[in-house]
Structure 1
Amino acid sequence: MVLVETKGSYTNEINLDSLDVHVGQSYSVLVTADQATSDYYMVATPKLLKITDMTKFGIGVLHYDNSTTDVSGPLLIGPDPFDIELSTSQANSIRWNLTTRAARPNPQGSFNVHNVTLSQTFILSASTAEIDGAPKFTVNNVSYLTPDTPLKLADHLVNGSGVYELDEFSTNSTNIKSESGVFVASGIHKGWIELVLHNDLEVMDSWHLDGFGFFVVGYGRGKWSAKSCSTYNLYDPVVRSTVQVYAQRWSAVYAYLDNTGMWNLRSQHLKNWYLGEELYVRVYDADPNPAKERPSPNNILLCGQPHCLLR
């Protein structure tokens, strides 16, 4: 029996012989020690790889306090690393335990998200392209181009002028032409956003949104459509900061944008991120109340475009 904990509160108890931990995720687990007194292997193996090299295993030993029997025998191989249906089924089984009293994500009490009103939906597709003769990763066929001026500095001093154009690229459709650009999209302050993350790659992907936890409401095959919403779990979805997106499939999450700022939405795979699979979500509130967002200090370091160096 394994009790899984995510994001500070417990999910329902589920019997597991193995647990998929995807890029950027972590768990706390309680293992029921109900076996004969001995030592036992605990093995971590990679997913979506042919396991022929034992050096790719992570091997630990679970030691019963009064055990005098060393570990022995072959290592457990675990489930088929290419069994996506098994992995998806496990992901869907991890749900919030609504009977547990523990710290809750903001807004308070919003485990059940069936009655929230969505303010916007982003449909984002991750893929690859060759741009200016170089291989790139893209979001909606746009590979993120890091500007010389930090986005928040440009936002604060010149409202982004000359550094980025807000909502220049679509968050609901794919560009016809592959290109590089400073992809910054508007997020509605204190609005609920639905993020539909497509994975057009041949390998597993993983997405993270800075500044927020999000409710993982669904996984699906192929292309998402409005009809896919009928498959969502809106009753007890688990809250994560990173969600896996299976190859040639989609994952959907809800997030409440109550945190003003300029937030990075990206692949957690370093190669994908470095080569352009990211964008920024600008959550803006005109209220200058420092309780919402503290102003920049007077001695802020200035850099980048010349017009951003002028006070």
Structure 2
Amino acid sequence: MGRATLLLLCLAATALAVRAEDPYLFFTWNVTYGTIAPLGVPQQAILINGQFPGPNINSTSNNNVVVNVFNNLDEPLLFTWNGVQQRKNSWQDGTLGTQCPILPGTNYTYKFQVKDQIGSFFYYPTTAFHRAAGGFGGLRINSRLLIPVPYPDPEDEYTVLINDWYSKSHKTLRALLDSGRPLGRPDGVLINGKSGKEAKVKPLFTMKPGKTYKYRICNVGLKSSLNFRIQGHPMKLVEMDGSHVVQNIYESLDIHVGQCFSVLVTADKEPKDYYMVASTRFTKNVLTSTGVIRYTNGKGPASPVLPPAPEGWAWSLNQFRTFRWNLTASAARPNPQGSYHYGQINITRTIKFVNSASRVGGKLRYAINGVSHVNPSTPLKLAEYYGIGDKIFKYNSISDDPTVAPTTATETIKVAPNVLNITFRTFVEIILENHEKSIQSWHLDGYSFFAVAIEPGRWTPEKRKNYNLLDAVSRHTIQVYPKSWAAIMLTFDNAGMWNVRSEIAERRYLGQELYISVLSPEHSLRDEYNLPDTALLCGEVASLPKPPPYSI
């Protein structure tokens, strides 16, 4: 074979490899009700393929994920992929602002790519307060073999889902909120769907002596910040909300609602059983759950003396300040995480979000800058795409800098769709200001942001001098302590309609969320995908002709 022929064959093979799609992962989910009793009281829960929690999605960066959801509940259903940045594809975001719900007795297939991401995430249902009944599960995005991770491969990896839990059904809890009353305190804490008593029956996880394991821990609860610790075993933090971090050692970690941490734990202690512990933070009555980790050659039960939890939110704030982005680690692409010098980009817009609680018609509502969001019958993204957005909602119904936001039950708020328009590819600073006495947790779909500061008091422009402009962690969820503020910074380069929400479930259900519309002026497939042919249609667009598709 001549050199010229060999060269042509190599070029052809390379071209085929370039055109080849990234791998596909296919899942079929049968979503049903089932009876469980994690706190000793039988109750209705949402199961996926008969499982509570639901099955893990184990993917690798750039994989195409296809999930065919059969809704066998008696209510419409949607799932969101918490923290997964669906590039150019808010059509699959799984919120009522972007998708029509999957009706009972029907199915819908989600299709999205976990592109340019690594880390620990989770999914959960966003409709009808279903999250209180289960339907959640872990979602891993592993690094491609081409891209090294900044630690040796662990012996095994375990997903740990921790959450507060109510013994009442989701329908009963929803009826409480609809009547204008808050949920009150949860009844317990679960670890992977089990309370401490159930967990004692058999170990949740096993470890071989001398080996190191990776634990992916997510707070999938409704309202409670949780402290996680492992009896006698320090934890090396390696990843947080999709980013490699500086590998500090912690005896315990505060994990707020919606957040995921990955830690390395080495089995180098006396071979026996040990408890992992999750307990509520910032609550008068502390709720605690345990799960057993067993050494494979273990002899003897775990000690009944549990490691103590920290006290006070100042401890938690100080822990936040120890979190740093690992600037030398590779991201999902070969370039180091620290190659993105966010601190050198000029801010083009500053937006302040102030959370508040009030009453409308005698019923409790939560708001952002005085507007409490409601979902219209036509999803906002569909209305915008079909060109009838002005019939459904108004852009920018809140100001960027609210001078007065309702903070007491005597002040009024407006109930309406809350949609903010942000110019494509601008670098924006968002201030989350909490005037209340309870801790808040905020999440932004479709993006990661740099969590540059959390401080007590009110924010002023002079506070920027305290920002971490070098190695703040790039993440998707941030807590805001009582009477405090947090600052985040990001480039809005992912076109679509994206949900900003309180991760405190009752607050989101009663209006503490909004949508950010990021429109590409080019209307090009380079910036945003077209409406999928299989998309469900409802409301005002159900009978309208499909708009012309975007082109390259």
1:109-167 per-residue CA deviation (whole Å, 9 max, x = no partner) reads: 55432101212111000010112221100101111122122101110122511111111
Tell me which residue corresponds to 1:273: 508
Mapping of 1:240-259 within 5 angstroms? 240-259=475-494
Q: Structure 2 regions of 5+ residues with no counterpart?
A: 1-233, 407-411, 546-552
Q: Distance in 1 between matches of 2:527 and 2:336?
A: 15
Quote how far apart the aligned CAs of 1:254 are.
1.1
Q: Distance in 1 between matches of 2:284 and 2:292?
A: 24
| Alpha-carbon distance change, 225 to 63 in structure 1, aligned in 2, over 3 angstroms | same
Q: Distance in 2 between matches of 1:41 and 1:310?
A: 57
Q: Distance in 2 between matches of 1:8 and 1:295?
A: 27
| Alpha-carbon distance change, 301 to 26 in structure 1, aligned in 2, over 3 angstroms | closer
Q: Distance in 1 between matches of 2:490 and 2:499?
A: 14
> Which amino acid in 1 is paired with 2:250?
L
Pick the aligned partner of 1:168 from 397, 413, 431. 397
1:256-296 per-residue CA deviation (whole Å, 9 max, x = no partner) reads: 11111111111011100000001111101121211311222
Q: Distance in 1 between matches of 2:534 and 2:445?
A: 25
Quote how far apart the aligned CAs of 1:182 are.
1.4
> Which amino acid in 1 is paired with 2:279?
T
Does structure 1 residue 214 correspond to structure 2 residue 414? no
Does structure 1 residue 21 correspond to structure 2 residue 250? no
Tell me which residue corresponds to 2:281: 47
| Alpha-carbon distance change, 263 to 227 in structure 1, aligned in 2, over 3 angstroms | same
Identity of aligned pairs, percent?
A: 36
| Alpha-carbon distance change, 224 to 154 in structure 1, aligned in 2, over 3 angstroms | same
Pick the aligned partner of 2:310 from 79, 83, 88. 79
Q: Distance in 1 between matches of 2:333 and 2:255?
A: 22
| Alpha-carbon distance change, 62 to 113 in structure 1, aligned in 2, over 3 angstroms | same
> Which amino acid in 2 is paired with 1:24?
G
> Which amino acid in 2 is paired with 1:278?
E
Does structure 1 residue 192 correspond to structure 2 residue 423? no
Aligned residues: 305
Q: Which has the higher contact order (CA 8 A, sep 6+)?
A: 1
Tell me which residue corresponds to 1:232: 467
CA RMSD, Structure 1 to Structure 2 (Å): 2.4
The question of whether the paired residues in 2 share the 8 Å contact of 1:136 and 1:143 is answered with yes
> Which amino acid in 2 is paired with 1:221?
P
Tell me which residue corresponds to 1:103: 332
Does structure 1 residue 202 correspond to structure 2 residue 437? yes
Q: Distance in 2 between matches of 1:138 and 1:105?
A: 41
> Which amino acid in 1 is paired with 2:306?
L
The question of whether the paired residues in 2 share the 8 Å contact of 1:9 and 1:103 is answered with no
Q: Structure 1 regions of 5+ residues with no counterpart?
A: none
Q: Distance in 2 between matches of 1:300 and 1:87?
A: 43
The question of whether the paired residues in 2 share the 8 Å contact of 1:111 and 1:236 is answered with no
Q: Distance in 2 between matches of 1:121 and 1:23?
A: 25
Quote how far apart the aligned CAs of 1:300 are.
5.4
Tell me which residue corresponds to 1:223: 458
Q: Distance in 2 between matches of 1:156 and 1:62?
A: 51
SS of 1:58's equivalent in the other structure is: strand
The question of whether the paired residues in 1 share the 8 Å contact of 2:328 and 2:338 is answered with no
Q: Distance in 1 between matches of 2:521 and 2:439?
A: 39
Deviating more after overlay: 270-279 vs 71-80: 71-80
Quote how far apart the aligned CAs of 1:301 are.
4.8
